[in-house]
Structure 1
Amino acid sequence: MFPVKQPWLCKALGCYDCCVRCLGSVPYASLAATLLLYAGTALFCASAHQALAQTEVLVEMHFARNIQDYTLLASFITYFQFVLYGLAAFFFLFGVMLLAEGFYTTSAVKQKFGEFRSTQCGRGLSLTFVILTYVLAIIWLCVFALAGIPVYFFYNMEDTCYTINILSETTTSINQHAWVCMDARQYSLLPWHAMPGKACGLTLAAICKTSEFFWTYDLYIAAFAGAGVMLLSLFLYLVATTYNYAVLRFLGRKALRC
């Protein structure tokens, strides 16, 4: 919050009016977006980090016999886990900067041209944050879509296991469940020469009942939800910063005419 240039003003207004004046300069939309951004970042990074580790365990135990078959997958998981550390640090700093920019623009809008005036440099800074947030929201929309791919994979796997359990309970289709398979190679998790690379029949149904499967599935769902919360916070940031910038431009033109 920006200090008032006239220290006697709060005394003249009284404690209640001064508090109302200060609270009117709080960027509530940016504050809510910051809380959503931090919550979504923590949920996405923590869940995705652990889900990737569990995926490696699941592939090693049930879909690949040779360590050379999932070496590339293990390297990708390790690399992406470090990327998650960088994302967490970036969004923490980005949230701080946008919240500070929200305090700046909201104070300028609320006080209009009283004790605090918006400068051309300040309006340029606000426009920069609008463009940066817009670009970041588009990028994160793609990340949000990609985060749904592992959820889709595990959903199909669970649905396939359900089909196997239904077929195994019928005496007329007792041999049909052996042809129902889930191939990890189709999702580029393993190379095509990996063995076995897929799980079929009751073997697949047994995998779906393990704690590793449920734990990994739940973690990917949590990561997907965290990415959605982050995307929502970026859109909220975009609305707030665009509105504040538009008002500042309007007030700036009005001041020039005066």
Structure 2
Amino acid sequence: MGCYDCCMRCLGGVPYCSLVATLLLFSGIALFCGCGHQALTETERLIETYFARNLQDYITLAYIIQYFQYVIYGLASFFFLYCIMLLAEGFYTTSATRHTFGEFRSTACGRCLSSSFIVVTYILAVLWLLVFAFAALPVYFFYNMDATCRTVDDLTETPASINQLCVDARQYGLLPWNAVPGKACGMTLSTICKTREYRMTYDLYVAAFAGAGVTLLALVHSCLQLAAGQVHLKERRQRAFKEHRKVWEQGGGTLCSPYPAYPVPHYYLTTPPPKLSLALLNPCHPPS
């Protein structure tokens, strides 16, 4: 029975909401960063192989891809540390821990820390909404390319119309307008869509987009969970104060502060006050 009570106490001290939010956030960031990094590498390879024959045509795109990969490294490191802090804050503010260390008491530092986490998480959620929208752009590009490839496969009996179906990377800003060839048409486009590199890049961008969505969901969940914890703590403090006041009123007593009701003279700081003066200064604790 003692082992069962110990296990129940340990399980009761786990902040399940914070744990779920942390796992969602870590999974979303890992999916977004890992798949996004590899998708950018495969995109550069596709552009180099099928859409640009000169290095100067896609060198700007190569630099942009490299910068985005560095940003992904920074995002992975930052959110890894933030996941740890979020989980630690959840263990610190869990109900069982507050009950163990002080009957749902809170310090000004603890309230400030929780409020700071709410503000930071809210700002991250707003910023990540832009990242989520940006992650949809390559998915949109590859979806259009895949739809064009299916149309080419359906019109194989009329070669004249097939050559008019093209995907121009220059229209999406991936390449400058003087890039050669800059586009893929007809059966060449259909061949590209059947390659392993294209299918893998498409799937990686879809996975990165899904990871961005999971990350956004985790940030919103964390923000709501932290705000709900603050409201719950405030309600418990108010309820405890009302119960304490009700007990004093039923017992015929009065609520009084444990601190002196009058200023303590300066010489009392070095000389113990007489018992009579102590009773006047603190009526809640009369001298024995």
TM-score category by the smaller chain?
A: 0.7 to 0.9
Match of 1:54 among 26, 36, 42: 42
- d(CA) in 2 for partners of 1:113, 1:88: 35
**C-alpha contact (below 8 Å) 1:112/1:251 kept by paired residues:** no
Is 1:209 aligned with 2:190? no
Match of 1:154 among 142, 145, 166: 142
Match of 1:233 among 218, 221, 224: 218
Unpaired stretches in structure 1, ≥5 consecutive residues: 1-12
- d(CA) in 1 for partners of 2:98, 2:154: 64
Q: How many residues align?
A: 243
Q: Alpha-carbon deviation of 1:135?
A: 1.1
Is 1:180 aligned with 2:165? yes
Aligned position for 1:27: 15
Aligned position for 1:99: 87
The one of the two structures with greater contact order (alpha-carbon pairs below 8 A, sep at least 6) is 1
- d(CA) in 2 for partners of 1:96, 1:30: 11
- d(CA) in 2 for partners of 1:63, 1:99: 46
Q: Alpha-carbon deviation of 1:110?
A: 5.9
The residue identity in structure 1 corresponding to 2:152 is I
The residue identity in structure 2 corresponding to 1:222 is A
Cα-to-partner distance string for 1:158-196 (whole Å, 9 max, x where unaligned):
11011111111x3xx330111111010111111112111
In structure 2, the CA distance between the partners of 1:87 and 1:183, relative to structure 1 (3 Å rule), is same
Q: Percent of aligned pairs with the same residue? A: 59
- d(CA) in 1 for partners of 2:103, 2:235: 18
Aligned position for 1:123: 111
- d(CA) in 2 for partners of 1:94, 1:34: 9
**C-alpha contact (below 8 Å) 1:37/1:230 kept by paired residues:** yes
Is 1:133 aligned with 2:118? no
Q: Alpha-carbon deviation of 1:15?
A: 3.9
Bigger radius of gyration, 1 or 2? 2
SS at 2:159 equivalent: coil
SS at 1:95 equivalent: helix
Aligned position for 2:272: none
TM-score (norm 1): 0.88
Aligned position for 2:66: 78
**C-alpha contact (below 8 Å) 2:135/2:209 kept by paired residues:** yes
Cα-to-partner distance string for 1:10-37 (whole Å, 9 max, x where unaligned):
xxx9443343233222110111111121
Is 1:44 aligned with 2:32? yes
The residue identity in structure 2 corresponding to 1:54 is E
- d(CA) in 1 for partners of 2:104, 2:155: 73
TM-score (norm 2): 0.79
SS at 1:196 equivalent: coil
SS at 1:175 equivalent: helix
- d(CA) in 2 for partners of 1:115, 1:236: 26
SS at 1:190 equivalent: coil
Q: Alpha-carbon deviation of 1:109?
A: 7.5
Unpaired stretches in structure 2, ≥5 consecutive residues: 245-288
**C-alpha contact (below 8 Å) 1:108/1:117 kept by paired residues:** no
Aligned position for 1:4: none
The Cα RMSD (Å) is 2.0
- d(CA) in 1 for partners of 2:238, 2:116: 19
